[in-house]
Amino acid sequence: MTNEGARVLVTGGTRGIGFAVAHQIVRQGGRVMLVGTDAERAQEAAASLAAPGRVFSMGCRIEGNERQSRRLVEAAVESLGELTGVVNAAGGATVGHALDLSWSRWKEDVDTKLWGYFALMRAAVPHLASPGGVIVNILGVAGKDPNPRLAPGTVINGALRGLTKILADDLAPRGIRVLAVNPGATETDLLREMAQGYARLNGVSTDEALAAMRSSGPLGRLPTASDIAAAVVFLMSEEAALITGTSLDIDGGVHRGPA
């Protein structure tokens, strides 16, 4: 499997899953533009990949802003040339019940992830290799297995799952594939933030909440960012040329609903 020659825009690329994706693409000979909220942190993340001339970075807060998304894609194209891929991974996972979370929390989460992913896809499509371009959206198992304690993620990832499928249908005639990966609880900085949320809800310590999450998987451990990234780079590769419109769960077997 190879992504040699890949030219990929990765949002949420400064840490966690997005960074692991960028790392694996670069290791396979590809080039990436990393995006995070903070330009300096993004630059540091890019430098840590130690591949001068193949890794670029930008600070930009992803949100449902069409003009900003266009500017971001144009900057990526200027650095990388025509894109072969886009990985949408910028986002978080607010722990809380639907009626308990504030309206402003809901709006911010929806704006970052649902509208942010969609705006970037709309901006990127005209600059994606056709045929051959690939979009991978990092969603989350709550999108198919509703979790009342992860209300925004359940709603946002469910909507993005539908959007992934309909864009895959719309873009198939142009030879562009659109896919989703659903991480379960994954060992990134976000896991600790989620554990803090569960600790508050359940009246336990953060360490107890973390331990409960870590012991929840039948395969004995939670996925790491590299486990998720390995699936993403496979889906982007030529070997996955006939896979589109689907979402792949990587959760160590936690999800028990329909496949």
Ligand X SMILES: NC(=O)c1ccc[n+]([C@@H]2O[C@H](COP(=O)([O-])OP(=O)(O)OC[C@H]3O[C@@H](n4cnc5c(N)ncnc54)[C@H](OP(=O)(O)O)[C@@H]3O)[C@@H](O)[C@H]2O)c1
CA distances from residue 73 to 70, 118, 133 in whole angstroms, order as listed: 5, 13, 14
**Position with the least CB separation from ligand X:** 16
Cis bond upstream, residue 258 (ω within 30): no
Closer to ligand X by CB, 16 or 85: give it. Answer: 16
In angstroms, the CA 107 to CA 206 distance is 26
Closer to ligand X by CB, 125 or 232: give it. Answer: 232
Compute the least distance from the CB of residue 100 to ligand X, in Å.
19
Compute the least distance from the CB of residue 43 to ligand X, in Å.
11
In angstroms, the CA 174 to CA 244 distance is 13
Closer to ligand X by CB, 80 or 160: give it. Answer: 160
Compute the least distance from the CB of residue 57 to ligand X, in Å.
10
Closer to ligand X by CB, 92 or 217: give it. Answer: 92
Cα–Cα nearest to 94, from 152, 145, 155, 16: 152
Compute the least distance from the CB of residue 38 to ligand X, in Å.
4
CA distances from residue 235 to 6, 106, 221 in whole angstroms, order as listed: 13, 31, 23
Contact set with ligand X (CB under 6 A):
11-18, 35-38, 41, 61-62, 89-93, 112-113, 138, 140, 183, 185-186, 188-191
Closer to ligand X by CB, 12 or 158: give it. Answer: 12
Compute the least distance from the CB of residue 212 to ligand X, in Å.
14
Q: Judge whether 174 and 244 are in contact, CB under 8 Å.
A: no
Q: What DSSP state is assigned to residue 223?
A: P
